[in-house]
Amino acid sequence: MITQKNDVMEKIVSLCKRRGFIFQSSEIYGGLGSTWDYGPLGVELKRNVKGAWWRAVVHTRDDVVGLDSAILMHPKTWEASGHISNFHDIVIDCKNCKKRIRQDHLKNGKCPYCGTKEFTEGRAFNLMFKTHVGPVEDSSSASYLRPETAQGIFVNFKNVLDATHRKLPLGIAQIGKSFRNEVTPGNFTFRMREFEQMEIEYFTKPQDADQYYQQWIEERFNWYLNLGIKKEKLKKREHGQDELAHYAKGCTDIEYEFPFGWSELEGIAHRADYDLKQHSQFSGVDLQYHDQVTNERFFPYVIEPSGGCDRATLAFLTDAYHEEEVKGETRVVLKFSKELAPIKVAVLPLLKKNGDIVELAKKIKNNLQKDIVCVYDDTAAIGKLYRRQDEVGTFFCVTVDVQSLEDKQVTVRSRDTMLQERIPVDNLKKYLMEKLAL
């Protein structure tokens, strides 16, 4: 039976564990709140998401370069950025069920867990994980696990500019881990305490910033659509003045309709010149840009498209999940785009007992493997093997049968249409690479 919307999330979580996309972190010890591990297929999917992002925002543009900065940074960074004074949630405890809740997560003033209305006084809770650098644990060694990758970019602005001799507009892109001690994490990998961000800080002349803000909103919105997200599941939402972060002049979220509701995938923020000014003031290093043509010195404005890699991966997984009735049975298919599918091709022998078929199938797999991510599987009957590959989103199945030994042709089955075509073995790689646009 086709699953109802409310149960879809449960099905996805279960599929993720069963097929090796996502596991609970340190599960054998009972797990650790809101930390997750990516299994063999999950890591392929997530790498593809990061690869697609990097291609779109770095490799296919002339105005963005990459960076990989350290997670641990000088503690003054967080004073300058405002995270020490502003990066907190107001938390309260429910006097009835004793659950700790973010004040802004109350449902009509009631506890979301037990529905009562009696709470302790609200108190500010900083979301940064504190740690110590070096062997001595005193206040001078205190540091933080970064809560965003953005600050690593701001503190390297001058280094990148000096090293690349670039002119404005210039974007610096980074993918990396961030950490937040979230009060109420949840919804699988949607809100985690350790997660990965994909951030761009796009430095512009102040007068050009509004135009680039609009351009980046469109660009980032289309990125999700181009990778297969359904149009009706994606929307933009502009923040009201009361919602804006302490640094932001404007912000537009890209939201996806998960089974648990519309939720933020990415925010595109107009940060004006807040960050470079702050870091100049706190470090004493002048981070102004010198325009060689006009001879002006000024703090560039910044447009920041900031997305979560885990959230994007979860959205692609959720969007790809399909159930179809086929000959009285439910076929579960992950309809990933070509670019994101963790496995592109599976090579399957029709008869495992026939050594010649197995040998040819393995030979074909070994040859494809040099250029295409593919697997070989002979652990079940062909119908079952197809279902297994559909369930993880494998784009094509190549089946080797008795006839293949004679006519040197194999059957290529498409995941989405389930149509089958006979293709000569000699043309197979070229055929698949063209279809997969590799």
**φ, ψ at 322 (rounded to 5°):** -135, 145
148 is an interface residue for ligand GAP by CB under 6 A: yes
First to last CA, the chain: 36
Q: In angstroms, what is the minimal distance from the CB of 199 to ligand GAP?
A: 6
310 is an interface residue for ligand GAP by CB under 6 A: yes
Taking CB under 6 A as the criterion, the residue among 46, 81, 188, 199 binding ligand GAP is: 199
Stretch that binds ligand GAP, among 5-13, 113-121, 259-267, 362-370 (CB under 6 A): 259-267
Closest CA to 300 of 112, 106, 160: 160
Contact between residue 52 and residue 340 where contact means Cβ atoms under 8 Å apart: yes
415 is an interface residue for ligand GAP by CB under 6 A: no
| Sheet containing 345-349, strands listed edge to edge, beginning at the edge strand earlier in sequence | 374-376, 345-349, 396-400, 409-414, 420-424
Q: In angstroms, what is the minimal distance from the CB of 175 to ligand GAP?
A: 11
63 is an interface residue for ligand GAP by CB under 6 A: no
User: For residue 135, is the peptide bond before it cis, meaning its omega torsion is within 30 degrees of 0?
Assistant: no
267 is an interface residue for ligand GAP by CB under 6 A: yes
182 is an interface residue for ligand GAP by CB under 6 A: yes
Taking CB under 6 A as the criterion, the residue among 192, 372, 392, 432 binding ligand GAP is: 192
Please give the Cα distance from 205 to 63 (Å, whole number).
14
CA atoms within a 13 Å half-sphere pointing along the CA-CB vector of 200: 26
Taking CB under 6 A as the criterion, the residue among 19, 46, 180, 344 binding ligand GAP is: 180
User: Could you give the string, one character per residue 18-57, with x where binding to ligand GAP holds by CB under 6 A and - elsewhere?
Assistant: ----------------------------------------
> How far from chain centre, in Å, is Cα 76?
29
Please give the Cα distance from 431 to 361 (Å, whole number).
17
Contact between residue 153 and residue 65 where contact means Cβ atoms under 8 Å apart: no
152 is an interface residue for ligand GAP by CB under 6 A: no
Please give the Cα distance from 366 to 376 (Å, whole number).
9
388 is an interface residue for ligand GAP by CB under 6 A: no
Taking CB under 6 A as the criterion, the residue among 46, 83, 146, 191 binding ligand GAP is: 191
Contact between residue 72 and residue 57 where contact means Cβ atoms under 8 Å apart: no
Q: In angstroms, what is the minimal distance from the CB of 147 to ligand GAP?
A: 7
Helix pair 382-392, 5-19: axis angle to 10 deg: 110
265 is an interface residue for ligand GAP by CB under 6 A: yes
Helix pair 40-54, 309-320: axis angle to 10 deg: 110
- With CB under 6 A, what is the number of residues at the site for ligand GAP? 19
Stretch that binds ligand GAP, among 2-10, 168-176, 194-202, 315-323 (CB under 6 A): 194-202
Q: Which is nearer to ligand GAP, 304 or 377 (CB)?
A: 304
3 state DSSP class of 171: strand
306 is an interface residue for ligand GAP by CB under 6 A: yes
Stretch that binds ligand GAP, among 19-27, 193-201, 277-285, 346-354 (CB under 6 A): 193-201
Please give the Cα distance from 103 to 274 (Å, whole number).
28
Q: Which is nearer to ligand GAP, 11 or 237 (CB)?
A: 237
279 is an interface residue for ligand GAP by CB under 6 A: no
266 is an interface residue for ligand GAP by CB under 6 A: yes
Q: List contacts with ligand GAP (CB under 6 A).
A: 148, 150, 180, 182, 191-192, 195, 197, 199, 264-267, 304, 306-308, 310-311
